[in-house]
Each structure stands twice: as structure tokens, then as C-alpha cells.
Amino acid sequence: MGYEEPFMQLQFADPGWIKIDTAVLRVRGELSDIVLEMDRVLKDDAVHALCANLGISSAGFIFIDPVKQFTRFFDNDSDQQKTYHTEYLWQNTEAKHLWVDTVHRLFVQVREAQGQLQKSEATTENRTEDFFRYLPKDDCVDVYFGEAERNSRLQYTLHYVSLGETLFTMLAWRNLLAAVNFGLGETSLTGLDVPFDAALRLPLACEWNGASLLRMKYADEQNQIVELWHTVCNSTSTLSSVFAALGVSASEGNKQSLERRALVTFIAMLAEQPGTDFVDLPDEQLNLKIQALIPCFLRRLYSGELKEDVLASLHALERYARFPVMPFHVWHVLDGSPKCYMVSPVWTSQQYSVPVDDVPCRHLGLALCAVQPLSKIDWTIPELHGSPPPSWCSEAGPVLVANVIRLMARPLVEQHLYSSAVRELQLRLEDEFTTKTQNVIHRDGELAQ
């Protein structure tokens, strides 16, 4: 693939890059100091500008210690974090002011729920979180939509979810949620017909895969998540309003919007009708198409046996979707601009791995990112033919984005793995010396001459 990086010069001159690079070379001390310092640097204006330029809407770092079976990630119940993230970039500054922290907490809650599920179901050591499941592992890509996507996953070792798939997943999820809301949870998915314009009843449970997302230490933060969810549900109280909020509605001359075109491109791929343009379908018809394709979509994501009722399908979608649907959906609706999910390895072990579907995954340090749709690798975004991309779309190359993210993560690599190993050795050394010293101090007889 003859891909050319458009911004390769950036890394040597960009003030944001220099800020990060300088901090990475100078930051030292205890983990808490490093997290504080990197948090400060990543919120610097120059870094903010670099992220905006590259389309990195947020990036947080997760690390796994396979020996101690320890996962380093954010913890809503702790006042001292063991990892850091970039600033969340929003288009809508007013909404950002109101919701930025709560959206972050929602992401963390979903990760927490994923982790709990993995632990509770663990008949094996297999990791089941989306970031492990869908990240390419040693030239192996199990789930993909089309050769172009497969090739770019292999080439860049990234898990990037296209804009079309993101929108389709969100709409499928909202359809299933609506069906449950209308009391159709136990009906079969086949022939599902959820009213397109009927108002949904509140409150909808704030859950992920049947688990509450409100299990938090602080009541204030729980209330904020409830409020966030209700705000989103209020502003998207019908499926047609969901279409509008996600920018895929055909109304008001929006038929050719990039979001709608990305969605129909994905639908055509899923329906195995390449070349068929569903862009002219009325929204309600398009939604029926989406409802009809949900079983097919779930089978592409999961090859095992799935129950066919609506509630089970909702849980399956939450569980096997290739990105954390709820927080992405919430953020998209509140901010009014699409974000895609990207997972990029920031540290790959030569020695250790964690099993994922019985395949070893050696990528033990990952950046979990929300990015603006990356036009260079997003196969659902149509050619722009020279016209300027919308402001929510990034033309940055994936290699550059991954490199910037890796640089940001470097201090944690040492902290998490090297320091932890050194600390382990030091503890053993300390134990050994303490025992020997106590023996020498308390035994009888002369010391060495």
C-alpha cells in the first residue's frame, strides 16, 4: 500500500510535540508525580493544538501486568490515578463545560463493567474486552468488514472502527434499547419493527450488558451520570431524533452528508450489496434496514451461539460491539460531532502476553482513543474529490497519530513495567538483606575481621 504520511515534518517542529518530548525526557519520580506532570503537559495549549490537528479527541492509557494480573487504568473510586489521559476535545464548548468529566467517568464505568464481566465469567484467563478482542494480533485479524479494512488493520496494527460501523452500531443499539423500552425485550429479533417516531418512555436504565453503570463510591458522581443519560435520552426521545442527532437523517438536504454516506456504505457492505446506494431511502426505511441487519451484524462480531430475543441481542451488541457504544453515543449526541474509536498499542512485550480467544496478545500497553474519523484509513468515508473535509474529520496519517500517542505513553511504560519489575527485585533484595542483617546483629560471636 503506497500510503504517504502528510505530516511527517510535524514531529520535529510542532510545539506540542516538543512539549511532550521534553516532558517525557525529564519527568521522573514516583508514579503520582509522573501522572500529575504528564496530566499537566497533556493539557497544555500546544499539546491541545497538536491533538486537534491530528484529530485525537481523547486518549487514555491502559496497561496490563500479565505476571501480577494487574490492570492499570482509571478508577472512579480513587482520588489518585495511576494513569493519565489527554484532554477531551469537544466541538461544542458549552456542552464540554457541562459534561466533560461525566463523559470520562462514563467511559471508565463501562471499562469497569467490562473488567467485572471478564472476571466473573473467567473460566480461562482469556481477556474479553473490545480493545484486546479486536486489536490485530501477530498478523491475525478475525473480525473485519472488507479487505481494505483488513489490510489497514494489518499494516498499522491498529483497531480503528470506521465511521459507518460506528453509526450503524449506535443506531442498532438505540433500536434494541427502544424495543426493550416498548416492552419487546423477549420477542424475537426476526421481523423486529420498532416505531420510528414514537416517543420513548423515561427513564431508561443506565446499564451496560445488564450491569448498572452507577456502582460508584461518590453519590454526586452517580447523580451526574444519571443526569447525563437522561439529558441524552430527552434530546433523542424518538428513533427519528436519534437519526438527526447523529447527522444521518435525510431531512433538510442532509441526504449527501458524510455521516449518512458512511452509514449507507457500511449497510451496503453488511447487506452484501456492494454498489447499492441506500442514500435515497427515507430514514424510516433505512432504519428498518438497520433493524433487519442486526442479526447479521452480531454474527459477524461473534461466531458463537446467540439467543435471538431482543434483550439478549442488546446485551450481545454491548458486549461484542467493537467500541464502547454507550459513552461514544452519549458524547456524539452531546457534542454534535462524530468520533471514532481507535486502539493503538503503546507497548508490546517480547516476553509476555495475555490470551484473547486463546490467541496470545503481546500488546500490553494500549492507548484507548476517540479520534475524529480518519479519512486516510476509513473505508466508509467517500472520496472528497478535492472538496474540503468537514471540521470533524481528520486527514492525519495513522502512523503519525500512533507515534504521538506512543510518545505520550512512554513514562508509563517505565513506571508500569520496568519500575514494577525493579521494585519487585528491590523488595526481594530488601527482604534478603533484612534477614541477613538481623541474623548478623543478633547472633553470638565476633563479626568478620
| List of residues contacting other proteins (CB under 8 A) | 425-426, 428-430, 432-434, 436-438, 440-442, 445-449
**Whose Cβ is closer to other proteins: residue 277's or residue 424's?**
424
Taking the C-alpha atoms of residue 408 and residue 59, their distance in angstroms, rounded to an integer, is 9
Phi, psi of 366 (to 5 degrees): -130, 145
Count the Cβ atoms, other than its own, within 10 Å of residue 30: 10
Question: Nearer to other proteins by C-beta: 26 or 436?
Answer: 436
Length of the chain counted residue by residue: 449
Q: Which is nearer to other proteins, 92 or 435 (CB)?
A: 435
Q: How far is the CB of 428 from other proteins (least distance, A)?
A: 8
Contact 263, 164 (CB under 8 A): yes
CB of 425 to other proteins, least distance (A): 7
Query: Nearest approach, Cβ of 422 to other proteins (angstroms)?
Result: 8
At closest approach, how far in Å is the CB of 446 from other proteins? 5
Residue 78 phi/psi, 5-degree rounding, is -115, 145
Longest dimension (CA), the chain: 96
The distance of closest approach from Cβ of residue 434 to other proteins in the complex, given in angstroms and rounded to an integer, is: 5
Nearer to other proteins, 1 or 447 (CB): 447
Q: Minimal distance in Å, beta carbon 33 to other proteins?
A: 20
Q: What is the spatial distance between Cα 402 and Cα 236, in angstroms, rounded to a whole number?
A: 34
Q: How far is the CB of 320 from other proteins (least distance, A)?
A: 46
- Minimum Å gap between C-beta 435 and other proteins is 9
Q: What are the CA-CA distances from residue 300 to residues 141, 157, 305, 325 (Å)? A: 13, 20, 12, 17
Nearer to other proteins, 138 or 432 (CB): 432
- Residues in contact with 376: Cβ distance below 8 Å, sequence separation at least 6, in sequence order: 3, 395, 396, 397, 398
Nearer to other proteins, 119 or 423 (CB): 423
- Cα-only R_g, the chain: 24
Cα–Cα distance list, 394 to 9, 100, 233, 334 (Å): 17, 21, 29, 20
Tell me whether residue 33 or residue 424 sits nearer to other proteins (CB atom): 424
Q: Which residues contact 199 (CB under 8 A, 6 or more apart)?
A: 237, 238
Give DSSP secondary structure letters for 254-292.
Answer: TTT-HHHHHHHHHHHHHTT-TT--GGGS-HHHHHHHHHH
Nearer residue to other proteins within complex by CB, 202 or 440 = 440
Cβ at position 442, least distance to other proteins in Å: 7
For 90, half-sphere exposure in the C-beta direction (CA atoms, 13 angstrom radius) is: 21
Cell 426521545: give the residue: 237
Cα dihedral: 304, 307, 312, 318 (round 10): 20
* Cell 513506571 sits on residue: 415
Residue whose CB is less far from other proteins, 43 or 423: 423
Q: Which three cell numbers stand for residue 361?
A: 496478545
